[in-house]
Structure 1
Amino acid sequence: MAGEGVKLHGFWVSPYSRRVELALKIKGVEYEYIEEDLPNKSPELLQYNPIYKKVPVLVHNGKAIVESQVILEYIDETWKENPIMPQDPYERAMADFGCVPSFRKALLGGETEEKKALEETRENLKILEKVLEGKNFFGGERIGFVDIVANVIAYWVFLFQEAAEKEVLTEEFLLLYNWKDKYVNHNIIKEILPPKDKSLAFYRAHFTRAKASS
C-alpha cells in the first residue's frame, strides 16, 4: 500500500519506535525510516517535535504526529485495512497499563523503592495474565493494539532484567511467557526487533550510568 509520503524518525533500540514500525508493517504501509542520533538530534526531528524532542515521530504528507500511542491511533484511522484498535473500551484502557516505570524502579531503585515497585509490577502482570486467558494474543488470534503497546514486556523487559542482573518477570506468569514466545517469533516482529547482543550492551551501559548517578 502506498505510504503517501510517510516517514518515521526513530531510534534503533527504542521499543516506542518499533511499535510504530510494527503497526505500519501490519497495515502494509510503505515508509521511509530515518535513524536518529539522539545526542545529536536532526534539525527535522527538532522541527517536528520541538517540545519533547523525542522519537518516534511519524510524518505523513508533511504533517507530524508524536507519541507512540497517538501515532498508532492515527495509523489505524488513516489506513483502514487490518484494523489494530480494539472495539472494547476496556481493552483500549489496557494499553495504558504502564508497567515500564514500575519495572525500572524494581530493577534500579533503592531497597525500599524496589520492594514497592516489585509489588506494583506483579499486580500489573496479574492483570495482564487475566486478559490473556484463552487467547494467543491480547488481540485474540492476531496481534492487536495492546500487543503492539506491550512489546516492551515481550522483548525489552528481558533485556532490562539481564542487564540489571535481576528477575521480575518469571515463568510463574506462564500465560505471559507463552504470549511472549509467540510474539517474538512472529514473522513481522522478528524483522524489526533490534539485535539482542547489541541491545544488551546498550542497556548494561545505560544501567551502569543510571546507578552511578543515583
Structure 2
Amino acid sequence: MKIIKILLLGCAIMPAAHANLVSNGGFEQPGTLAAAPGYQYLPNNDSSVTGWTSISDNLGEESYLMNINRSNNSYIPRVYQGTYGLALNNNNAIQTSVALTAGITYDLSFAAKANTAGASPLEVSIGGFSTSFANTTAFTIFQYQFTASATDQGATLKFFNPLAAGGNRIWNLDAVSLQPAPVPLPAATWSFLTGFMGLLALGKRKRSAL
C-alpha cells in the first residue's frame, strides 16, 4: 500500500498533458464530404470546414477539402492522417482562432507538403508572430515555438500559400496542433523521482530474495 501511495504521488507531480487548442486541427469536421466527388472547393470567407475560414483571391483555383477515399485514390498520398486534409492553393489562406495567454510558451506543429518543388515557402502567422517553412514534397511535421506577448482569446492562426509562377503550386495541410509547451520539472523533483525508482528496485530485490 505504501508503494502504491508513493507511486500516485510521483504521477501527480509529472507534467500534465495538454489538449489541442486548435479546434478541428485535422479538418475532420463536419465530416460530410463524401468520397464522390471527394473534394470541396472553399471560396473566399467560406467556413464550411468547422472552425476554419478560407481566404481566396478569387483568381484561379481555390483551396479545397480532400477526402482520402476518393474513388481514383489520388488523395491517399495527400492526406496525412484521418479521412480529410486541406489543399491550400496559390495565393490562398486558411485561418482559425485560438486563445493565447501572455507569457505562456506554445508549441505549434502541423503536417504539410507541397505538390511540386516550385511551390513557395509556406507562411504561418499567429499572435503577432510570423515565419515561413521551406518547400518539401514529402509530408513533414513542422514545428514552431513562441511565447505569447499578450492575452488574446481570439488570436488568429493563419496559413498562407504565396503566389508562385508556373501554374498551381499547392500545399497539402493536416494535423494542426497548438499546445502550451511542457514545463521542465525542477531538479529537486527529478532527484526525488530517481530516489523513488531506486526504492522500488530495492524493494523488488528484497521480495525476490524471500
| TM-score, length basis structure 1 | 0.21
If asked which structure has higher relative contact order (CA below 8 Å, sep 6+), I would say 2
Structure number with higher helix proportion = 1
Larger Rg: 2
Structure number with higher strand proportion = 2
